[in-house]
Amino acid sequence: MLRSLLALRQIAQRTISTSSRRQFENKVPEKQKLFQEDNGIPVHLKGGLADALLYRATMILTVGGTAYAIYQLAVASFPKKQG
């Protein structure tokens, strides 16, 4: 049992340490150029469609949550009549 665990540990270390690392392209200069461009779009929407969808979803949840909180406050402030 101990030998199999040691062998497994050695195999795992070997495969992790000898696996080739993937080279990623540096996209930072492209992103910097995109976000620093003066085109009148707010910085939180310059990322494209995904940013616009996230922004709209956040606004909908915020407005909906505020409306629901006000509704619940109104319901709680007027007690139900007995009887």
**Averaged pLDDT of the chain:** 87
Instruction: Assess contact for 45 and 57: CB atoms under 8 A.
Output: no
Quick one: tokens of 73?
């406050």
Q: Tell the CATH superfamily of the 43-78 domain.
A: Cytochrome c oxidase, subunit VIIa (4.10.91.10)
DSSP code at position 4: H
User: Quick one: pLDDT band at residue 20, thresholds 50, 70, 90?
Assistant: low
Q: What is the predicted pLDDT for the residue at 18?
A: 55
Task: Render pLDDT for 39-79 as a digit per residue (tens, 0 to 9).
Answer: 999 999 999 999 999 999 999 999 999 999 999 999 999 98
Instruction: Assess contact for 66 and 59: CB atoms under 8 A.
Output: no
The reported pTM is 0.58
64: three-class secondary structure by DSSP: helix
Domain ranges of the chain: 43-78
DSSP code at position 47: T
Q: How far is the CA of 68 from the CAs of 1, 51, 55, 76, 83, in angstroms?
A: 60, 25, 20, 12, 27
Q: Of residues 17 and 50, which shows the higher confidence score?
A: 50
